[in-house]
Amino acid sequence: MESQLTQIAANRCFGGWHKRFRHRSAVLDCDMVFAVYLPPQAESGAKSGKVPVFYWLSGLTCTDENFMQKAGAMRMAAELGIAIVAPDTSPRGPDVPGDPDGAWDFGLGAGFYVNATREPWAKHYRMHDYVVRELPELVEAELPVTDRRSIAGHSMGGHGALVCALRNPGRYRAVSAFAPIGNPASVPWGEKAFERFFGTDYAAWLEWDSCALLGRATEKLPILVDQGDADSFLEKQLKPENLQRAAEAAGHPLTLRMQPGYDHSYFFIASFIDDHLRHHAAALLKD
């Protein structure tokens, strides 16, 4: 069978390979690019030849490239024997609508990892289904990985990771987030995106809000969250205290670590990514 993936870049790194692929997404109705890091353990001739996957969802304005180039995650992934898959943050292409005012916090680069129900967004903005179903099926069919998955992300991607895990029990073995938009239905970034994607029905918004989803979660994967206390978005957009209260009310295990002096940047992510990879490896590599 002909491959659905077109390789567009490859770089040797820590004994493994960082690669970028392009493919046609039926879910998003556009071409998409994603990045993957395959550790040395995925090389032909290794003990199993296949490794579990840590999915990373990036934040507003990012692409697949930001995390791979800035987070410093590949050294630890190589040590642990875990692949990393980093999708884009939204659908792309000339037929995909962006923010009508050209703003950076909605549309292209800002898909919020939801399935939109309002036009003109509903045709393309189905990032949840893409991340949870289409992309893993493609990756598992064409690359040397297993169906053992975990998921993490930053900011908008932290929101996406939490929602993907909470809405899909049994799909992931671990979940974590850096500075997630944990209560998007109650902050400006989320309000703007959700009104456009879903209209004014607040109940529809709550289907994509981690604080609401925690209260009805049937699976209680332990959640690790790191948040910098010098993050300029902390009080207005992120509100980790809301996420903590929701987890406590639901009896859901959540470790929220406030990191003194850290901001919202990749300097922050790079400082603690090893902890997160170890958190995921404990579940992914467990027999």
Catalytic residue, chosen from 252, 264, 276, 280, is 264
Catalytic residue, chosen from 25, 58, 155, 210, is 155
Q: For the range 102-109, what are the long-range contacts, defined as Cβ-Cβ under 8 Å and sequence gap of 24 or more?
A: 104/60, 104/61, 105/60, 105/189, 105/192, 105/193, 106/192, 106/193, 106/196, 109/60, 109/61, 109/62, 109/63
Cα–Cα distance measured from residue 78 to residue 84, given in angstroms and rounded to the nearest whole number: 10
Catalytic residue, chosen from 231, 252, 276, 280, is 231
**Residue 48 appears among annotated catalytic residues:** no
**Residue 99 appears among annotated catalytic residues:** no
- The DSSP-derived string for 38-72 is E-GGGSTTSSSS-EEEEEEE--TT--SHHHHHHS-
Cα–Cα distance measured from residue 162 to residue 202, given in angstroms and rounded to the nearest whole number: 19
Q: What are phi and psi of 97, to 5 degrees?
A: -70, 145
**Residue 155 appears among annotated catalytic residues:** yes
Enzyme catalytic residues: 155, 231, 264
